[in-house]
Amino acid sequence: MRRRLAALSIAVLVALFGATACEGVQEDIRNRAQDEVDKGKEQVKQRAQEERKKVEDRANEERTKLEQRVDEERKKVEDQVKK
């Protein structure tokens, strides 16, 4: 979405400046737009990593809880067998 917006912005700016704009200005606009696209990609990547970490942490917590419950039940069964 952000990439499309950046591409659309570039297209609009290039159309507005058209032949009257010098090549240096057009290149500057392209560079700025590319910088914005790169920043957007980095933000998306960072957010994905954060969310992945949250999911992994939650999965580890749940696994630990389940392991504890299994150990407790195993101990109960062992105690009943011993009696």
- Over its length of 83 residues, how does the chain's per-residue pLDDT go in tens digits? 666 666 767 776 666 666 555 667 778 888 999 999 999 999 999 999 999 999 999 999 999 999 999 999 999 998 888 87
- Say how far apart CA 40 and CA 32 lie, in whole Å: 12
| Pair 2, 37: CB distance under 8 Å | yes
Task: Please give the pLDDT value at position 32.
Answer: 92
- Say how far apart CA 25 and CA 2 lie, in whole Å: 22
> Which sign, positive or negative, has the C-alpha torsion 63, 69, 72, 74?
negative
Give the pair of three-digit tokens for residue 82: 């011993």
Q: What is the pTM of this model?
A: 0.54
